[in-house]
Structure 1
Amino acid sequence: MQKSKEDVIKDLEAKVSDMKSYEAKAKLSIKTGAEPQVYDVDIWHSKPSYYRVSLKNAKKDQSQIILRNDEGVFVLTPALNKSFRFQSNWPQNSSQAYLYESLVRDVLKDKEAAVFKATDDNYVFETKTNYQNHNMIPKQEIAFSKKDLSPVSVKLMDNDNNVLVQVDFSGVKFDKKFDKGAFDTKKNMSVARDEIPASAQQDQPFAVLYPNDLPKGVVKKEEKEMKTANGKRVILTYNGNKKSFTLIQEKALVAKTGTTVSMSGEPVDLGFTVGALTKDSITWSHNGVDYMLVSKELSQDELLTVARSVYQKAEK
């Protein structure tokens, strides 16, 4: 006897409310750039509000951990020995493609309109999204396993059904017991620091990166280089079509002792790293470089689109 959409939604709701914790592993593929970026994601959640999401790229030389514990929401960047602290209600404030309860929440939110089908192994829903840049990825297809309702895969799509982001879960353990200290900021930082490969600790040359995805009519106007105490700072200015923005890049300093930096704004997933989004700026660190994108005229969607496209070397 096949279950109806309403039955499955009820079961999902019960599953989320009954579970105490879970651990999941997933592969996150971001297909918006010239070549897909692939990350290994390790997710721990213990109710009510402890989270640890570890993101590592395929080469393992870039890693970040998003933590939520009693002290707040932190983004740890082990390569810089820095943790960034947010006054944020993450992950409640928007959809998170790698968090089970967030996916179920999206299904519940959109239950009237959600498209539902059952395959041999899975229940599949198509729902609206609640992402920070939902204009780019307005819908998602979520598959849950028929066996235990665990998440199987998520595809985030644009209006033409192109898959821009995909998450494939490889193992979900419900009601997992975590060690004391599993969500502790200092402990996570010291473990992550020990895991950084030697190659990633070497001083990398600083190459200027340019955004590939610009708002319509906006072009590069100027590139200035300034000397700073620890090297150089490069300031790129773009404008056109009544819109302008500035992108500042400089070498990030590795903190001698673990440093916590308070951030305003919300943590946002840029694909290759986690940044901080405010009303008119995004800041992030990647490959040993600090970036700041500032604009009074761009919407948050446009800011995110530009920031997500800053990961390739000079324009040809």
Structure 2
Amino acid sequence: MLKKLSIGIMVTLLILVLAACGQKSKEDVVNKLEQTLEDMSGYQAQASMSLKTGEESQKYNIDIAHKKKDYYRVMLKNDQDKEGSQIILKNDDGVFVLTPALNKSFKFQSDWPNNSSQPYLYQSLVKDVLSDAEATFKATENHFVFETKTNYQNNNNLPYQEIYFNKKTFTPVMVKVLDKDKNILVEVEFSSFELNPELAEDTFEIEKNMTSSLLGVPAMAEATDVEFEILYPATNLGAELAESKEVETTNGKRVILTYEGAKNFTLVQEQVTAYPASTTSPEMIEGEPVSLGFTMAALSSNSLEWNHNGVNYYLATEELTREEMIEVATSISQTAVK
């Protein structure tokens, strides 16, 4: 009887030991994520990104290509503004934001994507996991889930994120970016993720990306004859509209809005009625590419420039911080009220 009992106890202990061996710890998963990044030659992924930072949600389809050491191509297609679909490109020549349909491109002196969290880039997600010693971890049936702090240098309203990694491949499946109250403001869902793909030699060349129809819209599309509606920011940060001036230019109508008060700024809106007929050299920006939710913008220390629905916007100030410029700009897309 005692012998049978002893054997039973030993079998039970063995089962428990084997079960414990099958459960990966937080450290095991982190080490595997690091190793996967180290061993891969690159990746290609497709995802959808939903942003709920304004009155209306925005949705992008994203195609990401990466090749070691430091080549990236992120294609952002917005079905609500097809001509505004964009490509973020990084190669040996620098960092670029391209809008092929408008034949518009910016070149940045920037450390993108290493200077801020990027919810659709594998390296950024793993870096955020490694950087947060207080990151929480849990395992579900199909995923390893981390909740970490984020590093959005120009946006303090997105301090947390939940990252879901595939249990078998250790690649990202879903990312939820949260506000201070843990509400989901940005959600990225990966529909496919391929490690070590064969990428065409010209995948990261600016000329190829500017002159092809990779985004599903014609490169250098014809400008559409849409009524020019002047939009006003809902967030003025203590300033009031002091002057509104309209001028005619060779490209169309330009409106200059001057705000004065606690912090002064000028907002210029210019309707695009004609796009360049051939590829031009990128415009140099002493700054960095930033997301406004509805489009990518070029941010410098005292200006912010972007295009949306066929209108060029330029925000200039000596007094607003970078975060405040983004706050004013994002409120412009939400209202046409002075």
TM over 0.5: yes
Q: Which one of the candidate residues 313, 317, 335 is aligned to 1:295?
A: 317
Q: Which residue of 1 aligns with 2:12?
A: none
Deviation digits for residues 257-280 of structure 1, max 9, x if unmatched? 111222221111112211111112
Q: Which residue of 1 aligns with 2:275?
A: 254
For 1:141 and 1:213, how far apart are their aligned partners in 2? Answer: 29
For 2:278 and 2:148, how far apart are their aligned partners in 1? Answer: 45
Once the two structures are superposed, the pairs formed by residues 1-316 of structure 1 within 5 Å of their partners are 1-59=22-80, 60-110=82-132, 112-192=133-213, 195-196=216-217, 201-215=223-237, 217-240=238-261, 242-252=262-272, 253-260=274-281, 261-312=283-334, 314-315=336-337
After TM superposition, the score normalised by the length of structure 1 is: 0.92
The letter of the residue matching 1:76 is: L
Q: How far apart are 1:91 and its partner, in Å?
A: 1.0
| 8 Å Cα contact 1:208-1:313 kept in structure 2 | no
The letter of the residue matching 2:118 is: Q
Q: How far apart are 1:238 and its partner, in Å?
A: 2.8
For 2:215 and 2:116, how far apart are their aligned partners in 1? Answer: 32
Closer/same/farther in 2, CA of residues 202 and 315 from structure 1, 3 Å limit: same
Hey, which of these two has a bigger chunk of helix by percent?
2
Closer/same/farther in 2, CA of residues 31 and 138 from structure 1, 3 Å limit: same
Report the 3-state secondary structure (helix = DSSP H, G, I; strand = E; otherwise coil) of the residue aligned with 1:259: coil
Report the 3-state secondary structure (helix = DSSP H, G, I; strand = E; otherwise coil) of the residue aligned with 2:200: coil
Q: How far apart are 1:197 and its partner, in Å?
A: 5.6
Structure 1 window deviating more from structure 2 (187-196 vs 227-236): it is 187-196
For 1:28 and 1:213, how far apart are their aligned partners in 2? Answer: 25
After TM superposition, the score normalised by the length of structure 2 is: 0.87
For 2:92 and 2:245, how far apart are their aligned partners in 1? Answer: 43
For 1:30 and 1:221, how far apart are their aligned partners in 2? Answer: 33
| 8 Å Cα contact 1:79-1:288 kept in structure 2 | no
The letter of the residue matching 2:115 is: N
For 1:297 and 1:82, how far apart are their aligned partners in 2? Answer: 28
Unaligned runs of 5+ in 2: 1-21
Deviation digits for residues 14-65 of structure 1, max 9, x if unmatched? 1111111100111111101111000001000000011110001124443111
| 8 Å Cα contact 2:144-2:167 kept in structure 1 | yes
Q: How far apart are 1:105 and its partner, in Å?
A: 0.6
Q: How far apart are 1:125 and its partner, in Å?
A: 0.9
Q: How far apart are 1:153 and its partner, in Å?
A: 1.1
The letter of the residue matching 2:23 is: Q
Q: How far apart are 1:100 and its partner, in Å?
A: 0.7
| 8 Å Cα contact 2:174-2:188 kept in structure 1 | yes
Deviation digits for residues 133-181 of structure 1, max 9, x if unmatched? 3411111111111111111111111111111111111110000110111
RMSD: 2.0
Report the 3-state secondary structure (helix = DSSP H, G, I; strand = E; otherwise coil) of the residue aligned with 2:320: coil
Closer/same/farther in 2, CA of residues 114 and 53 from structure 1, 3 Å limit: same
For 1:184 and 1:10, how far apart are their aligned partners in 2? Answer: 33
| 8 Å Cα contact 1:125-1:141 kept in structure 2 | yes
Unaligned runs of 5+ in 1: none
The letter of the residue matching 2:116 is: S
Deviation digits for residues 171-195 of structure 1, max 9, x if unmatched? 1000011011111111111113894
The letter of the residue matching 1:98 is: Y
Q: How far apart are 1:131 and its partner, in Å?
A: 1.1
Deviation digits for residues 260-305 of structure 1, max 9, x if unmatched? 2222211111122111111121111222221111222222111112
For 2:112 and 2:284, how far apart are their aligned partners in 1? Answer: 15
Report the 3-state secondary structure (helix = DSSP H, G, I; strand = E; otherwise coil) of the residue aligned with 1:309: helix
| 8 Å Cα contact 2:223-2:275 kept in structure 1 | no
The letter of the residue matching 2:58 is: Q
For 2:72 and 2:215, how far apart are their aligned partners in 1? Answer: 21
